[in-house]
Amino acid sequence: MTTSYAIGVDNQAAIQAFHSTLRNPGHHLAREILRIANQVQKQRRKGNYELIIRWTAGYKGITGNEEVDCKAKKAAEGKTSDKKLLPSYLRKSLLINPAARKRAHHKGLMKIWKKDWKTSTQGKRAARLDGSTPSKKFLKAISQKELSHIDASRIAQFRIGTTPVNQYLRQIRRVDSARCPACGDEEETAEHFLLFCPAYTYERWVLTQQAKKLRKQMTMETLLGTLEMAREVTKFIRATNQFRQPNASIQ
């Protein structure tokens, strides 16, 4: 007489673990399952005992699905069943997977950092230009091969409000006047430099054409929050030669 049991699992990595050497940190549970299965098989002297672990595309339609999901969620929250009802192996503290612990730690740090960043002055300014910040979108924009490290840093400065224009340089006491050195306007802001300074009308023409091509208006959001504009913005900055002045260097 053959007694067969089948366990449906929707995690292919977990199933593949049973076909490995089971030497990874997280494989101790798989080793324990195999140990118990072999023990049961030895105890059944009459007939054969067979345990099948098969892949199932989700638990939809399987009896007990909701109950299993509920218990799994509780376990993930740190809640557990009565120890007397658990297998002996699960009644003690389980081994810790170093890789999983590091991932969880990193995830926690990223969550804290994002919260701090979004509430900071620089973070709020960046969010006005690009609501998805912080995101991979910005990293993709400044990681284009045509952009140098200085180009990427300059775009980041424009986004967070630390651009070395005279308005900012005066705030940090690097210059005495916020006046625009190119056109003489009373205050050289980042917006003035990119959008309005008449001294750079010729250089700005390329930016205007690219914005029209993308069917976007010439705004700070377009220039600093659009992937396709990153290269054109850096070309404009280079063409003006404005930030090559000694007093515009930030250490």
Distance, in Å, from the CA atom of 32 to the CA atom of 23, rounded to the nearest integer, reads 13
Q: Which of 12-26, 50-64, 140-154, 224-238 has the lowest mean pLDDT?
A: 50-64
Contacts 24+ apart (CB under 8 A), 160-169: 160/122, 160/123, 160/125, 160/126, 161/121, 161/122, 161/125, 161/190, 162/122, 162/250, 163/190, 163/193, 164/243, 164/248, 164/249, 164/250, 165/189, 165/190, 165/192, 165/193, 169/247, 169/248
pLDDT bin (cut points 50, 70, 90) of residue 251 is: very low
Q: Hey, what are 122's tokens?
A: 């620089």
49 DSSP β-pair partners:
3
Instruction: Kindly tell me if the per-residue pLDDT of 176 is higher than 80.
Output: yes
Q: Which of 33-47, 164-178, 186-200, 219-233 has the lowest mean pLDDT?
A: 33-47
Cβ burial, residue 166 (10 Å; 0-12/13-18/19+): buried
pLDDT in tens, 29-54: 888 888 888 887 777 666 677 778 88
List phi, psi (to 5°) of 232.
Answer: -70, -35
52 DSSP β-pair partners:
6
Distance, in Å, from the CA atom of 153 to the CA atom of 224, rounded to the nearest integer, reads 12
pTM as predicted: 0.58
Looking up tokens 């230009």 gives: 129
The reported pLDDT for the residue numbered 59 is 59
The reported pLDDT for the residue numbered 249 is 39
Helix axes 149-160 and 230-240, enclosed angle (nearest 10): 100
Helices (H), the chain: 12-17, 28-43, 65-76, 98-119, 121-129, 136-142, 149-160, 166-171, 190-191, 201-213, 220-225, 230-240
Greatest mean pLDDT range, 27-41, 122-136, 162-176: 162-176
Distance, in Å, from the CA atom of 234 to the CA atom of 237, rounded to the nearest integer, reads 5
pLDDT in tens, 137-161: 778 888 888 888 888 889 889 988 8
Of residues 163, 144, 145, the one with CA closest to residue 153: 163
Percent of the chain with pLDDT over 70: 90
Of residues 122, 100, 233, 117, the one with CA closest to residue 168: 122
Distance, in Å, from the CA atom of 239 to the CA atom of 235, rounded to the nearest integer, reads 6
Return the domain boundaries, the chain: 2-95, 126-240
Asked whether the beta carbons of 181 and 245 are under 8 A apart, the reply is: yes
Looking up tokens 């804290």 gives: 112
